[in-house]
Structure 1
Amino acid sequence: MTKHTAANTTANTTARTAADRPTTESADGQITVLVTAATGKTGRRVVPRLTARGITVRAGSRHGETVFDWESPDTWAPALKGVQRAYVNYYPDLAAPAAAQAMRAFGAAAAEAGVGRLVLLSGRGEPEAVASEAALAEGGVPLTVVRASFFAQNFSEGPMAEGLGRGEIAFPAGDTAEPFIDAEDLADVLVAALVEDGHEGRTYEVTGPRPITFAEVAAEISAALGREIRYVPLPGAAYRTALQEAGLSEPEASWLTELFTTLLDGHNASTTTDVREVLGREPGDFAAFVRREWPAEG
């Protein structure tokens, strides 16, 4: 399912037109792309793909050569200077309380720098994220939005992966199915949107090819590992407590709990064909991700 967002259209009619904005698009076709959160799950996959295409990459991170920090707006303009396009991956999530304000400010900074295209990673089925998408579009820079389902790599990288070491996946998902997207496929979509024509103004929703429950996820990983991984469906209150015990503040734990319980109420259980539309091929299945991630055990 591919959509043009009304928010993008409305925002762009009130923003400066392309003729009014400065531009850094180069006459010889050479482009430089800023990748925000370049060391994250998607950023570290996007960077080498861009480099392989001969694109000059400015890898933005808090401690890298190109300093970029969402919590330090003074780092944005230097990172954007001379950039033609940017991959926007907001941390911690576009549904976070401060996200829309940050997107509005970043969109203005990108327009001021003459950036010619933005590609935004968003969450599928997140009403608050839609508001952040619209806020970014207010700057008037041509925008592509890629809304992704849950990542398959959440089970191999980060807190859930740590849970596998304890033999469990503890999450407030109930028996809801989710069409997990392989981050490798997502990165291919993001790069296509950054460097190929025809994606400006589009909103894509990318998913894996089939919805599976967290219990089924645990069973597939168990088979690959050769040991039992249990799925523990946590109530929201218990998950919030676990997050606080892991070091998150009460407000952070509360909004994350609300986000996950809202997303996993069944409204995102369907699949889409947008990976095929963008890449001309089907997305990888969760089983293929498991075989690739744990080949020695599988």
Structure 2
Amino acid sequence: MSNTGSRNPILPDADSPVLVTGGTGKTGRRIAERLTAAGRNVRVVSRNTPVPFDWENRATWDAALEGIGAVYLCYFPDLAVPGAAETVAAFARHAVGKGIRRQVLLSARGERGAEHAEALFKASGAAWTILRADWFNQNFSEAFFLDGVLAGEVALPVGDVREPFIDADDIADVAFATLAEEGHVGKLYELTGPRLMSFQEMVTEIGRATGRDIRFSRVPAEEYVAGLHAQGIPQDFIDLLHELFTEVLDGRNESLTDDVQRVLGRPPRDFSAYVAATAATGVWDESKTSVEA
């Protein structure tokens, strides 16, 4: 599967930074922290960083890639949005053209658009690794489920399907390993948590840990979309969520893998451990009223 033979071209030299796109997001900032703690130079980029980076503005790409030795690619909001696959592939090819072959892509399980992006990424000439992940535990504490938890009701257009939620810290640990160790070029890892859980079960567990009455309710997709429009959510993000809840959450991801164990030599973090640690931070306290920007 490797594009490069048996050797993994990690960094041309120890001083070459790793470029972390989406570096202020759930996975990117965690990966940057791990690389920094290990003594690696890191360049974290987003639209608002000192070296600005915008997927849709190719004029920002050269400065972001200057002097870089390896890249972690995380496309926001998701590889399934129209044009994302082509944009990521163009960036990967551009990096290869500048001599940067070691690239790790965060992808998604069960999404046709993400699989299309993976195919184009593999054909870019990069010494690639792909990390497929499903829903993150941190969606309940750092993203769009948090408002519902704080309000006491998580209302979503989903039934009893059970998902292999993965912890963002596990994704970051795997990404760090693929960027810092030999043996991961040409590998596709599907990252899951250790058990399948329904949204109802997860919300119940959060309520139990916080001592709060937090309910889960199923709502029609049309009602959910109307609520997103009322909140002023961008249309492309609404379209993405509608696809995830009406198509991807059909049971296609109701399976577990041992890829976290194989890469890290330990099992993935259980949702209960995430809930206990997160509840202790107070982020789910009833006094909180909104998600931080």
TM-score (norm 2): 0.90
1:220 is matched with 205
For 1:259, which of 244, 269, 287 is the aligned residue? 244
Superposition RMSD in Å:
2.0
Q: Which residue type is aligned with residue 115 of structure 1?
A: I
* 8 Å Cα contact 1:147-1:206 kept in structure 2: yes
Q: How far has the Cα of 1:116 moved from its partner?
A: 2.6
Q: How far has the Cα of 1:234 moved from its partner?
A: 2.2
* 8 Å Cα contact 1:152-1:180 kept in structure 2: yes
**Structure 2 SS opposite 1:115:** coil
Q: Which residue type is aligned with residue 41 of structure 1?
A: K
**Structure 2 SS opposite 1:82:** coil
Q: How far has the Cα of 1:260 moved from its partner?
A: 2.8
For 1:164, which of 141, 149, 152 is the aligned residue? 149
2:52 is matched with 67
- The C-alpha deviation readout for 1:235-269, integer Å capped at 9, x for no partner, is 22122212211213445423420133222111111
Q: How far has the Cα of 1:25 moved from its partner?
A: 4.7
TM-score (norm 1): 0.89
* 8 Å Cα contact 1:179-1:269 kept in structure 2: yes
1:132 is matched with 117
In structure 2, runs of 5+ residues without a counterpart are 285-293
Q: Distance in 2 between matches of 1:164 and 1:289?
A: 15
Matches within 5 A, 1:191-202: 191-202=176-187
Percent identity between matched residues is: 46
* 8 Å Cα contact 2:10-2:181 kept in structure 1: no
2:288 is matched with none
Runs of 4 or more, structure 1, over 3 Å off, are: 28-31, 249-252
- The C-alpha deviation readout for 1:203-254, integer Å capped at 9, x for no partner, is 0000000001011011100011111111112222122212211213445423
Does the C-alpha gap of structure 1 residues 277 and 174 become closer, same or farther in structure 2, counting only changes over 3 Å?
A: same
Q: How far has the Cα of 1:147 moved from its partner?
A: 0.2
Q: Distance in 1 between matches of 2:169 and 2:239?
A: 30
* 8 Å Cα contact 2:209-2:275 kept in structure 1: yes
Q: Distance in 2 between matches of 1:262 and 1:29?
A: 44
Q: Distance in 1 between matches of 2:161 and 2:139?
A: 16
1:288 is matched with 273
Q: How far has the Cα of 1:29 moved from its partner?
A: 4.0
* 8 Å Cα contact 2:132-2:191 kept in structure 1: yes
Q: Distance in 2 between matches of 1:144 and 1:198?
A: 10
2:222 is matched with 237
Q: Distance in 2 between matches of 1:273 and 1:24?
A: 24
**Structure 2 SS opposite 1:125:** coil
Matches within 5 A, 1:71-220: 71-220=56-205
Aligned residues: 280
Does the C-alpha gap of structure 1 residues 197 and 164 become closer, same or farther in structure 2, counting only changes over 3 Å?
A: same
Q: How far has the Cα of 1:294 moved from its partner?
A: 0.6
* 8 Å Cα contact 2:69-2:100 kept in structure 1: yes
Q: How far has the Cα of 1:104 moved from its partner?
A: 2.0
